Amino acid sequence: DAKTTQPNSMESNEEEPVHLPCNHSTISGTDYIHWYRQLPSQGPEYVIHGLTSNVNNRMASLAIAEDRKSSTLILHRATLRDAAVYYCILRDVNYGQNFVFGPGTRLSVLP
């Protein structure tokens, strides 16, 4: 499985944008980049995914570097409810790989 590297923790102020980085220097051409987050005492939930182009949805934006060796999850306006562990996962659909979760980034949002 291709590996990802994320900072252990980050802090943000409420109502400010948050940029969560993920490095994946060994990414293959068919690896999709997925982001999940896990709120306290809950199971992980889907946030966003992409392959090459930047992606937007109602929760967040995903910015993918041109060489695809890194990506950034962007929360445009952090709320207290966004405090969670964020997981960046690579998944090669061609090989039917399962989702392999690393330790993720613990995001704290300060009021």
Partner 1 sequence: EAGVAQSPRYKIIEKRQSVAFWCNPISGHATLYWYQQILGQGPKLLIQFQNNGVVDDSQLPKDRFSAERLKGVDSTLKIQPAKLEDSAVYLCASSLRPVETNEKLFFGSGTQLSVL
**Residue 49 sits in the site that holds partner 1 (CB under 8 A):** yes
Distances (CA, A) of 90 to 35, 67, 95, 108, 110: 9, 15, 12, 24, 30
Output 65 or 95, the one with its CB closest to partner 1. Answer: 95
Taking CB under 8 A as the binding criterion, the range among 11-19, 21-29, 35-43, 75-83 that sits at the site for partner 1 is: 35-43
Query: In angstroms, what is the minimal distance from the CB of 61 to partner 1?
Result: 17
Output 49 or 68, the one with its CB closest to partner 1. Answer: 49
Given 26, 28, 51, 77, the residue binding partner 1 (CB under 8 A): 51
**Residue 29 sits in the site that holds partner 1 (CB under 8 A):** no
CB within 8 Å of 49: residues ≥ 6 apart: 32, 33, 34, 35, 55, 62
